[in-house]
């Protein structure tokens, strides 16, 4: 069970949750770094928000978005008809095309821990010659056991909720932030630490570039990160 908000609330989250900062930074990267007439794949694309905003800035790029939540894909297809959307499980979906950029934002932690390594390998397989991948996620502090994992999830959850309230978040978005805390503690979602993810990225990519967008503290601890990955 995914326990997701509605598509409308999901799109509002970008305004009030720290995640919006990261998404806008990634938009800039893609808009600047993908070649003319390039191809971009977004795995676990949600409601298509990122691709739709990018399409406005770079109409020359062909965008493909894949997500298994049919409500989100229906929402995206109704609004953004110049983008190719597929309703599919990314663990099973295959495509012969290779892409200039492959994105996965807030997606990795929706896959069970035991699937994440193979999924990063699958992302690498979709990256074409000279291309790159961007994998972005909210991370919890590193943990040694299940109690530490739950505590680290509660800490990230509290800080996310507090930031959402400070940003003037509406009650429906605050509710979504509250739901995230339970999702993380009870492993409906599968957030991990940067320390545990870095070696996975290094297994499939020769160059791993790390960026942190929230909070404004040193890297390594909890927060929103994106990794630019090149083979
Ligand atoms: C938090 S949303 C991220 C959406 C978007 N990428 C973003 O940055 O906001 C996670 C998405 O993963 C999707 N998802 C979870 N497991 C999936 C799977 N196995 N295959 C495809 N989509 C999946 C959910 O439907 C949901 O839309």
pLDDT score for 217: 84
Question: Which ligand 1 atom minimizes the distance to the CA of 10?
Answer: 9
* Domain span at 113: 7-142+189-230
Mapped onto helix, strand or coil, the DSSP state of residue 157 is: helix
Q: What are phi and psi of 132, to 5 degrees?
A: -150, 165
Give the mutation target among 44, 72, 106 for probing the ligand 1 site: most ligand atoms within 8 A of CB.
44
Whether 173 is in a domain gets the answer no
Q: What is the CATH number of the domain that holds 117?
A: 3.40.50.150
Output the pLDDT for position 1. 54
* Residue 4 CA to ligand 1 centre (angstroms): 9
66 falls within a domain: yes
Is 179 part of any domain?
A: no
Residue 178 CA to residue 160 CA, distance in Å, equals 9
Torsional class of 201: left (φ above 0), alpha (ψ -120 to 50), beta (otherwise)? alpha
In angstroms, the CA 43 to CA 41 distance is 6
**10-residue block means of pLDDT along the chain (231 residues)?**
79 91 96 98 96 97 97 95 97 97 97 98 98 98 98 97 97 96 97 97 98 88 97 91
Tell me, using a 6 A CB cutoff, whether residue 89 lines ligand 1: yes
Domains in the chain: how many in total? 1
- Examine residue 180 and state whether it is found in any structural domain, yes or no: no
If one residue of 69, 107, 111 were mutated to test the ligand 1 pocket, choosing by the most ligand atoms within 8 A of its CB, it would be 107
In a domain, 210, yes or no: yes
DSSP string for residues in 51-83: HHHHHHH-TTSEEEEEES-HHHHHHHHHH-TTS
Full-model pTM? 0.96
Could you tell me the distance, in angstroms and rounded to a whole number, from the CA of residue 217 to the centre of ligand 1? 27
Determine the pLDDT at residue 218.
Answer: 76
With respect to residue 148, please indicate whether it lies within any of the assigned structural domains: no
Q: Are 138 and 165 in contact (CB under 8 A)?
A: no
Q: Is residue 114 included in any domain, yes or no?
A: yes
The whole-angstrom separation of Cα 34 and Cα 51 is 13
**Structure-block tokens of residue 29:** 């990267």
Which one, of 230, 217, 214, 4, lies nearest residue 110 by Cα? 4
Q: Does the residue 115 lie in any domain?
A: yes
Q: What is the C-alpha to C-alpha distance for residues 126 and 94, in angstroms, rounded to an integer? A: 9
Alpha helices in 132-193 (DSSP H): 146-166, 171-185
């Amino acid at each position: 069970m995914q326990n997701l908000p509605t598509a409308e609330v999901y799109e509002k989250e970008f305004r009030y949750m720290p995640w919006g900062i990261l998404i806008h930074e990634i938009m800039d990267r893609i808009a600047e770094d993908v070649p003319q007439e390039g191809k971009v794949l977004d795995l676990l694309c949600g409601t298509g928000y990122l691709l739709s905003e990018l399409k406005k800035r770079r109409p020359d790029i062909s965008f493909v978005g894949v997500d298994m939540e049919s409500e989100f894909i229906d929402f995206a297809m109704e609004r953004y008809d110049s983008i190719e959307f597929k309703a599919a499980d990314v663990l099973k979906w295959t495509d012969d095309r290779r892409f200039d950029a492959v994105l996965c934002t807030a997606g990795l932690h929706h896959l069970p821990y035991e699937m994440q390594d193979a999924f990063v390998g699958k992302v690498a397989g979709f990256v074409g010659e000279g291309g790159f991948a961007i994998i972005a996620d909210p991370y919890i502090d590193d943990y040694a056991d299940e109690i530490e994992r739950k505590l680290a999830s509660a800490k990230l959850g509290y800080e996310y909720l507090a930031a959402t309230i400070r940003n003037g978040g509406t009650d429906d978005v605050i509710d979504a932030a509250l739901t995230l805390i339970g999702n993380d503690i009870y492993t409906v979602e599968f957030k991990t630490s940067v320390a545990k993810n870095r070696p996975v990225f290094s297994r499939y990519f020769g160059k791993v570039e790390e960026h942190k967008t929230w909070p404004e503290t040193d890297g390594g601890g909890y927060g929103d990160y994106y990794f630019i990955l090149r083979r």
